[in-house]
Structure 1
C-alpha cells in the first residue's frame, strides 16, 4: 500500500512558489586530507546508505480527481546522477564565491515531478577543501518516517563503515484505477482521510482565490497611485533570489558569556542574534525608529505526548520570544532573552542540549528541517523572523574519511519574510547561517558582520560582569530605549 501524504506535507508543496521555494539546505565544508574525497566518493557513499531513507527514491503521485491526498511512490526512473551534481569554483575559491553559488542554487525550487532533493559537490575551494550543499524539501523530511539524508552519511571515525550496495528495485507504478481504488479503500477504513482530502482541496482553492485577490488589490492600488504603507525592513514581497551569509564563531566564547552571566548557550546565541539585529538596524537609521522588539519564533525540542512523535525521540514545538533590539546593554539583552525561556524551562518538557547532540548521525540537519516546518505552520500567528538553533556533536565527523570542518544551515524564507536564521554548534564552533531576500536585504552581509560584533560585545561585557542572568521568575529590566 502506498504511503499517503499528510495534509501538512501537502500544504508545504501547495504553498511553494517561484518566490518561496519550500526546501531547507545545509552547507558542509570538508577537509579531504589524503582521502581523495570528491564527487565520485560521495556518490558511492550515498549509494551505500540511501536505503536508510527510502523516501529519497520516491516521488509524489497525485490521485485522479483529487479523490484523496497524493501518495509517495517509487520513482522507477530514479537517477542518482541527476540528484548528486558536481560544481566547482575558480581556484582558489573563496567563501564569498561559495556563498554566491549557494545563494543561486537555493533560490531554485526543486522539481516536484522527481524525488524532492539535490546534492551539489563544490570543488575548488582554497586549501583543497570541498563543500557539499544538501537541498531537501520540507515535505520530504518529516522526522517521522524520513530524516535528512545528511544525517545518515557522516561517521564518527575517519574509517567509514562499509555497508555494501543495496539491491533496491522500484515497486510497480500504480495505475490511475489502482490509485482510485486504494483511495476508496483507505477512506472506508479511516474516515479521517475524507476530511483530510476535503481540507486539502479547500485550502488549495482558498490559496488560489487569495492569490488572485491579492494581485487585483495590488493592481488597483497602482492604478489609484496610492503610496504603499511603510513596511518592516524584515518584511515585504519576496523576489525569486536569495542571499546567503555564513558566520563562524567559537563555542568557547558563548560558554564564557554563559559562565559569567548565567543562562544557557542557547540564550547567548539568541542574545547574539538580538545584538546583531540591533546593530544592523542602527545602520538603517530610519528603520530603528520605533523598533523596540522583534518578534521571533524559536522552535524548541520537547518531550510532549500530545505533539506528533518523531523518530528522533523528541517533539518540536514553537517558542515565542521578543528579541529586545531596543535595549542598549548587551548583558540586559541576554537577561531578557534568558527570562523569556525560563517559563519553557520550568515546564520540565525541555530536552537537554547534550541529549540532542548525542543522537546518532548528524541530527542537526533533520532538526533544522523540522524547525523550518514548525515556523511554516505558525506563519499565521505573526512573527518577524525564525531563529532555529540546534546543538550538534562536539567531536569531528567524517564523510568517506574526509573531516567535516564547518556546517551552516540555510533556511527557507516564508511568504513575506525577508530573513531567516539557523545556528548549529559542532566540534567547538557555532555556525550561523543567514538566508535573506536578495532585493529586500541587499546589505545582508553587514548583518553577518554584526553577528561577530554582537558576540564580541557580549564577551567584553561578560568579562566585566558581576551579575548573573536570573534563574527564577524575577522580571527583567524593562529598559527599551534605543
Structure 2
C-alpha cells in the first residue's frame, strides 16, 4: 500500500489558509551565457535536467489521496498523468529586468497557494534578468519536504562541476492507484495491527477539518468587516493579508568572517546580531521605542544530533530554539556578545552540528534545511515568538545547473499566522544572502529593513576595525588569544 502522511503533515495541510499558505521557496540566480556569449541556460535546459533527476525525489510525482471517511491518514499516490510542464513554468521580465521587478514577481507567486489536487510543488524559470541572468524560483509545500523520505528538488539539481554528472535514466511508470475499497480495507487492518496509530489518524484528520472550517469562517468575517484587527505591541504582530512582499539582500561572507574572527564568535552569531541591529534601526525609523532591555523573540531552528528524534537523510535533525534579540541595546558589539552568550548553552550540550558538517552534506542541502526549519516553526507556532530566522551554511565554492553557474541563492520563507515577518539566510560561495518575506499591508517599508541589514553589518565591521585601531602597539587587542 502507498505510504501514509505523518500526523505533522496532515496538520500542516489543515493549518493552511489563503492568508497563510505553508510553502517554502528558494530563489536562485544563474549566469545564462557561456564563455562564447551564447545562451546556455533557460527553460528547455531546466526541464531536461529535472526530467533526468526527478527519480531522486519520487514524491515530486505524487499527490495526496484521502481515505474514505477519513478513517486513517491520507496516503501518497503516484500521479497517473504527471505533467512536468505544469510544474515547471516559464516567465520573463521586461529586459533588462531589475531585482525590484523580480521581487515583485516572486511576491505574487508566493501569495498563491499550491493546488492540493496535484503534486505539491512548482518551479518558475524567470528569464530577462539584467546581466544576462536567469532566476529560478522553487516552491514546495511543507508537507512535501520532510528530510526523511524527501529532500528539496534543488538539492539534487546542482553539480560541483560545469559538466553535469551522468545520471542513469530510468523509465518511470506510475504505480496503480488503490481503489477506495482497498484503502478502507487497509485502514481496517491498521486498526487491528496498530490501533493507536489509527486513532491518532482519526483525531488529526478531525482537527484538520475543524481548522479548515474555522479558517473559512474567519475569512468570511474579515470580508464582511466583522473581524477586528488586533492591537499589536510591535509591527511584527499583525493579522496577515493574502499578499506578500519579498526582498533580498546580498552581503559579503568575508565581512561576516572578519567580525567572527575578531570577536571569537560564529558566523551564525554575526548573522543574528546583524538581524538584531537591522530590526532595531528599522523600528526607530517607525518611531517605535527601543528602550534598554527591549527585545524581540525569534524562533531560530538549529541543527542538532538527537538520538531520540526521528532520523533524517541529512545526518542530523532540526530543533527549535527561542532567542531574545536585544533590539534595545545600542552597542553593536554588546548585541553580538549577548547573542553569542545566548547560544553558548546550546553549543555546550554537544548536540549542536557544526557549520562545516552542514555545508558538507551531499547536494545543495540549505534548501532542505530551510524547509525543515519552517516545519519546526509551524510545530512551535503556539509558542510566544515574534518572527522566524533561519540561517543555513552552504558550500564556499560555485555550483552549477545544466552547466550554468549559480551566482546567488536566497531563501524565501513563509509567514505564520500573526507574524508579519520571516527572514532566511544562506551563506554560499563568498556571499551571505538574506531573504525577507513580509506581509504586504503590515510591512510596507520592507526596503528600509533591507537597507538596515546592510548598515547593521557595516556597523559590526566598523566596530571591529575601530577596536583594532585603538589597541596599543605591542599589546594584544582586547579578547585576543595568544598564539601557541
Q: TM-score, normalised by structure 1?
A: 0.93
Is contact 2:61-2:82 (8 Å) kept?
yes
Counterpart secondary structure, 2:93: strand
Aligned-partner Cα distance in 2 for 1:145–1:425: 26
- Residue 361 of structure 1 deviates from its aligned partner by 0.4
Partner in structure 2 of residue 414 of structure 1: 416
Give distance in 1, aligned partners of 2:229 and 2:363.
52
1:44-55 → structure 2 map (5 Å cutoff): 44-55=48-59
The question of whether the paired residues in 2 share the 8 Å contact of 1:261 and 1:467 is answered with no
Equivalent runs, 1:78-477 vs 2, <5 Å? 78-208=82-212, 211=215, 229-286=231-288, 288=290, 292-465=294-467, 466-468=477-479
Does the 8 Å CA contact 1:20/1:413 hold for their aligned counterparts?
A: yes
2:9 equivalent in structure 1: 9
CA–CA distance in structure 2, aligned partners of residues 269 and 253 of structure 1: 11
1:190 Cα deviation from its structure 2 partner: 2.1
Please give the alpha-carbon distance, in whole angstroms, between the structure 1 residues aligned to 2:98 and 2:213. 46
In structure 2, relative to structure 1, the CA distance for the partners of 1:357 and 1:125 (3 Å cut) is same
Closer/same/farther in 2, CA of residues 84 and 287 from structure 1, 3 Å limit: farther
Q: Structure 1 residues 191 and 162, CA, compared in 2 at 3 Å: closer, same or farther?
A: same
> CA offset at residue 203 of structure 1?
1.8
In the aligned structure 1, how far is the partner of 2:223 from the partner of 2:174?
49
Contact 1:4 1:70 in 2 (8 A): yes
How many Å apart are 1:231 and its aligned residue?
3.9
The more displaced of 17-26 and 180-189 is 180-189
Deviations 1:184-230 (A, max 9, x none): 1223222232132132134225425754786799899959xx99534
Q: 1:174 to 1:400 in 2, by over 3 A?
A: same
Distance 2:336 2:273 in 1: 5
Taking the aligned partners of 2:369 and 2:229, their CA distance within structure 1 comes to: 42
Residue matched to 1:20? 20
CA pair 201-443 structure 1, distance change in 2 beyond 3 A: same
SS in structure 1 at match of 2:128 = strand
Q: Is the 1:334–1:469 Cα contact (8 Å) retained in structure 2?
A: no
In structure 2, the residue matched to 1:473 is none
SS at match of 2:340: helix
User: Residue 43 of structure 1: CA displacement?
Assistant: 0.3
Structure 2: how far apart are the matches of 1:301 and 1:428? 22
Contact residue 21 and residue 113 of structure 2 kept, 8 A: yes
Aligned residues: 468
Could you tell me whether the CA contact under 8 Å between 2:15 and 2:212 is conserved in 1? no
Distance 1:279 1:211, change over 3 A: same
CA distance in 2, matches of 1:42, 1:144: 25
Shift of 1:77: 1.6
**Secondary structure of 1:85 counterpart:** strand
Q: Distance in 1 between matches of 2:177 and 2:346?
A: 47
Matched residue SS, 2:382 = helix
Counterpart contact for 1:301–1:315, Cα < 8 Å: yes
Aligned CA distance change for structure 1 residues 185 and 416 (closer, same or farther; 3 Å): same
How does the TM-score come out when normalised to structure 2? Answer: 0.93
- The answer on whether the counterparts of 2:91 and 2:126 sit within 8 Å (CA) in structure 1 is yes
CA–CA separation in structure 1 for the residues paired with 2:230 and 2:436 = 28
Change in Cα spacing, 1:220 to 1:432, as seen in structure 2 (3 Å) is: closer
2:64–2:74 CA contact under 8 A, matched in 1: yes
User: In structure 2, what is the Cα distance between the partners aligned to 1:62 and 1:178?
Assistant: 12
Change in Cα spacing, 1:458 to 1:114, as seen in structure 2 (3 Å) is: same
Partner Cα separation in structure 2 for residue 288 and residue 326 of structure 1: 5
CA deviation string 1:292-333 (max 9, x = no partner): 100001000011111121110001011111000000000000
Deviation (angstroms), 1:402: 0.1
Distance 2:330 2:292 in 1: 14
